[in-house]
Amino acid sequence: MTAQLPEQTGPTQDAQAQGPHPVSERLQHLRAGGVSLMLAIRPDAPPAILYWGEDLGNLDDAQLASITAASAPRQTSNMPEDPILLTVLPENSRSWPGTPGIEGHRDGRAFSTKFATTSWRCDPDGLGGWACVCKAEDVDAELELAVDIELTAQGLAKLRARLTNTGNSPYQLQSLTLALPVPDLADELMDFGGHHLHERAPQRHEFTQGTHVREECRGRTGLDATLLVLAGEKGFDFGTGKIWGVHTAWSGNHRMLAERLPSGERILAGGEVLQPGEITLASDESYESPWLFASFGNGMDELSARFHEYLRTTHPLRRPRPVTGNSWEAVYFDHKLEPLVSLADAFAEVGVERFVLDDGWFSHRRDDHAGLGDWEVDREVWPDGLHPLVEHVRARGMEFGLWVEPEMINPDSDLARAHPDWIMGMPWRLPPESRHQQVLNLAIPEAYDHIHSRLDALIDEYQLTYLKWDHNRDLVEAGNRVTGRATVHAQTLAVYRLIDKLKADHPGLEIESCSSGGGRADLGILERTDRMWGSDCTDAHERQQIQRYTSLLVPPEMLGSHISASENHQTWRRLSLSMRAITAIFADLGVEWDVSKLSAAEREQLAEWIALYKHWRPLLHTGKAIRIDSPDPAFWVNGVVSQDRTRALFAIVPMGTSITAPPGMWRPRGLDPERSYRVEPLEISRSTVDKTPYQPLRWWGEGLTATGKTLAEHGLRIPDLPPDEPVLVSFEEES
Ligand code: DGJ
């Protein structure tokens, strides 16, 4: 069925194509944040993206029409007469032979769709971006589709679809995948792998013919999850090359993919991964996909900055992020009031602003074998509840936060003994335990209510302003043991509901998303929480890589990073305080270390680093993050430049020994090319270089003044630094 399309609404001078198009077709040119997104609306198809990339400027109708004319293919040998029409929901009925936008059926029938647009509108979103809704239907398949397409003020594209069954028979949905085209300039793919303690390891490949799928079926984002699938010009890096990237904003099973067809089409796509039978739409029921985010940039820093700025809009900083002191690597499960009071004193002395009591405070939780689900304070360890500790912490001027793991249950717990059916699994089998725990099915209303009321009561009793929300295992055979049906989708929504409710009922409550470290780090969770724990690996050398790539999506002020013991608990590597501190200050700083055992002099040194962080925190948490690949692989450089480009702080991090002697140059980017900057090593870093037996570099000793352009093009000599002994350099505009 075709329909006359209503006129579009909103500012339109860039919007309507004429000329070769029938009257009822429209080209809608969305422009925001330096990005153009060209939407083609046709009455006989779902919307299609004709162009996504660099802002094309203001285009009149004739110029817009030329976009379609310029790219329309002609039929060639052995191709269907209707050439491939790539829409945001690619359909086989439009000759698309690649990954389908929708897979589903009615007991085997209606297995393919052909949607036709019935109405659409595009409006300014009031924040400097655009919001479009396109409705379509397939009357034969008895399905309706509503696609939201947004271009945010930061230049991020967002796509989401809602599918409704308008027929009388149930419709079994297997997948819904949304897609954006990328041009044939994008020759190289980059995504990320990893594992526990080693999240976000980059991998690169050629964008060859076929499909590169990154699928996570772990019921959480995943420790090995790629947060982005990127396609870019060959050799793209942080500062150069056009890059397009997608991110699926979903904390359950999901995927992202890059696909190249022999006919030349290249797409980036993503959506939720549904388990068999998970979504069956009864008459009038709908399924809503997660948002698929898409970012374009000249260099990865620009692509990444769009995510940072977007999250800064949805999560405006109400106050400086408090420095966290976390008890985990200080005392683990060994909870006793006296040592924890001493820890709180020592935390306060070094400048910690929020004390977080980690795992081990609740019933039966003397180690990780028991207790999850029993969210009552353990009266044997805490005869007066947590009150004496909480009061002490507050008396020392710190806030108090508490660790919880609401979605988990130990078989050895009162909750599991009372409600074995609340554990996820198959009716006839339980999944293998992981860390001695199973998953609690929060899609069961009684289980949800129980956990909600326990968390609610704890927040009320201790006036908690912070929860560290952990999730320490993959979901395996995640089903409802009574109905026998898969339940990851429902679980993900239940967790979102629970967090949203707690936050709505307790204004000001902040939540840290943790999942065996960095296992839950998608925009589905990040849009409703305040911080994510980057990794269970607190080794600063390892953290350099983890943070460099996690921060492509997560802004520094939301990425938790802690200074821990010199001999690291995960890798046994010994690192200096400056390496540990310089790594952690470029994120949301915390301390996770028994600082009560340090000498007064050691505490003083730590306090100095925390004070330095507090001084730079306003810049670090609002500026533009820069990562630099210096030609010498031994030297990693990262920094933050203020939005007005008047100041910057950079770290030069020697990850190994230099390939040349003396080391070569580094070229700080992101400063204003025309302005002059005073360049100085930070006082705290001088001793690092002074310790080396060589003549100091001239610029190191005296500082220098240079323009942003000279610095970016000519650069500065890298100091000869021992491995893992980084330094900090400041840039201040000279007036
Ligand atoms: C895993 C987390 O990532 C750690 O920081 C700690 O909270 C433990 N869980 C506690 O069990």
- For the chain, what percentages of helix, strand and coil (3-state, to nearest 5) are there? 25, 30, 45
**Does 50 score more than 80 pLDDT?**
yes
pLDDT tens digit string along 272-300? 999 999 999 999 999 999 999 999 999 99
Nearest CA to ligand 1 atom 10: 359
Residue keyed to tokens 């698929």: 292
Question: Is the distance from the beta carbon of residue 229 to the nearest atom of ligand 1 less than 6 Å?
Answer: no
- Cα R_g (the chain), whole angstroms: 27
User: Other C-beta atoms within 10 Å of 476: how many?
Assistant: 17
Using alpha carbons, select from 145, 135, 143, 138 the residue that is nearest to residue 167: 143
Ligand 1 centre to CA of 652 (Å) is 30
Nearest CA to ligand 1 atom 11: 359
Q: Any idea where the domains of the chain sit in the sequence?
A: 2-70+85-314, 353-533, 625-733
Q: Tell me what the mean pLDDT of segment 452-481 comes to.
A: 98
Q: How far is CA 689 from CA 30, 282, 541, 566, 702, in A?
A: 51, 69, 19, 20, 13
Amino acid at 733: E
Find the mean pLDDT for residues 62-78: 83
If 0-12 CB within 10 Å is exposed, 13-18 middle and 19+ buried, where does residue 35 land? buried
Ligand 1 centroid vs 83 CA: distance in angstroms?
53
Q: Which of 199-208, 236-245, 687-696, 712-721 is the least confident region? A: 687-696
pLDDT reading at 13 higher than 70:
no
pLDDT tens figures, 198-227: 999 999 999 999 999 999 999 999 999 999
Among 472, 473, 532, name the best residue to mutate to test ligand 1's pocket (greatest count of ligand atoms within 8 A of Cβ): 472
pLDDT at position 735: 84
Letter for the amino acid at 545?
A: Q
Q: What is the per-residue pLDDT for 11?
A: 34
| The pLDDT of residue 15 is above 60 | no
Residue 599 pairs in a beta bridge with: none
Q: Known catalytic residues? A: 470, 536
Average pLDDT over residues 578-592: 98
> Does residue 512 line the site of ligand 1, with CB under 6 A?
no
Question: For residue 411, how far is its CA from the centre of ligand 1 (angstroms)?
Answer: 19
Q: 516 in ligand 1 pocket by Cβ < 6 Å? A: yes
**pLDDT at position 695:** 76
> Mean pLDDT throughout 708-728?
96
Q: Which of 292, 237, 353 is nearest to 607 (CA)?
A: 353
Q: Whose CA is nearest to atom 9 of ligand 1?
A: 516
Q: Is the pLDDT of residue 5 over 50?
A: no
Q: How far is the CA of 516 from the centre of ligand 1 (A)?
A: 6
Quick one: 418 exposed, middle or buried, by C-beta within 10 A (0-12, 13-18, 19+)?
Answer: exposed
Q: Determine the residue of 470, 520, 559, 568 to mutate for testing ligand 1's pocket, defined as the one with the most ligand atoms within 8 A of the Cβ atom.
A: 470
Question: What is the distance in A from the centroid of ligand 1 to the CA of 536?
Answer: 7
Q: Which atom of ligand 1 is nearest to the CA of 514?
A: 3
Q: Answer yes or no: are the C-beta atoms of 635 and 718 closer than 8 Å.
A: yes
pLDDT-above-70 percentage for the chain: 97
pLDDT-derived band at 66 (thresholds 50, 70, 90) equals confident
CB 359 less than 6 A from any atom of ligand 1: yes
Q: Which atom of ligand 1 is nearest to the CA of 517?
A: 3
> pTM to 2 decimals?
0.96
Distance between CA atoms of residues 673 and 241, nearest Å: 19
pLDDT at 7 over 60: no
Is 33's pLDDT higher than 50? yes
Ligand 1 pocket test target in 327, 359, 474, 512 with most atoms within 8 Å of CB: 359
pLDDT at 65 over 90: no
Token pair listed for 212:
């590169």
CA distance 351 to 605: 11
pLDDT of 22: 40
492 Cα to the center of ligand 1, angstroms:
20
469 CB near ligand 1 (under 6 Å): no
For the Cβ of 470 lying below 6 angstroms from any atom of ligand 1, the answer is yes
Distance 430 CA to ligand 1 centre (A): 24
Convert the pLDDT of each residue in 428-454 to its tens digit. Answer: 999 999 999 999 999 999 999 999 999
Does ligand 1 have an atom closer than 6 angstroms to the CB of 355? no
Is the per-residue pLDDT at 81 higher than 60?
yes
Beta strands at 727-733 and 408-409: parallel, antiparallel or unpaired: unpaired
Residue 114 pLDDT more than 90?
yes
For helices 387-395 and 337-350, what crossing angle results, to 10°? Answer: 20
Spatial CA neighbour of 361 closest among 520, 452, 467: 467
3-state SS track over 674-731 = CCEEEEEECHHHHHHHHCCCCCCCHHHHHCEEEEHHHHHHCCEECCCCCCCCCEEEEE
Share of the chain above pLDDT 90, in %: 90
Residue nearest atom 2 of ligand 1, based on CA coordinates: 516
Q: How far is the CA of 21 from the centre of ligand 1 (A)?
A: 58
Instruction: Specify the pLDDT at position 24.
Output: 56
Which range (128-137, 429-438, 618-627, 697-706) has the least confidence?
Answer: 697-706
Q: What is the CATH number of domain 625-733?
A: 2.60.40.1180
Distance 561 CA to ligand 1 centre (A): 13
pLDDT digits (tens, 9 = 90+) for 525-579: 999 999 999 999 999 999 999 999 999 999 999 999 999 999 999 999 999 999 9
Mean pLDDT of all residues in 330-353: 98
Distance 429 CA to ligand 1 centre (A): 28
Q: Is the CB of 514 under 6 A from ligand 1?
A: yes
> Which residue of 197, 326, 328 sits with most ligand 1 atoms within 8 Å of its CB, as the best mutation to test the pocket?
328
* pLDDT exceeds 60 at position 18: no
536 lines ligand 1 (CB under 6 A): yes
The mean pLDDT value for 508-536 works out to 98
Nearest to 651 by CA among 727, 731, 573, 541: 727
Question: CB under 8 Å to 109, separation ≥6 — which residues?
Answer: none
Q: What is the pLDDT of residue 10?
A: 35
Pick the CATH number of 2-70+85-314 from 2.70.98.60, 3.30.70.3400, 3.65.10.10, 2.40.30.10: 2.70.98.60
**Residue of the CA atom closest to atom 1 of ligand 1:** 516
CATH number listed for the domain at residues 353-533? 3.20.20.70
Q: Is the CB of 517 under 6 A from ligand 1?
A: yes
pLDDT band at 499 (very low <50, low <70, confident <90, very high): very high
> For residue 692, what pLDDT band results from cuts at 50, 70 and 90?
confident
Q: Report the distance separating Cα 367 and Cα 111, nearest Å.
A: 51
Q: Which atom of ligand 1 is nearest to the CA of 403?
A: 7
Query: Mean pLDDT across the chain, nearest whole number?
Result: 95
Ligand 1 within 6 A of CB of 472: yes
| Most ligand 1 atoms within 8 A of CB, residue of 356, 536, 538, 592 to mutate | 536
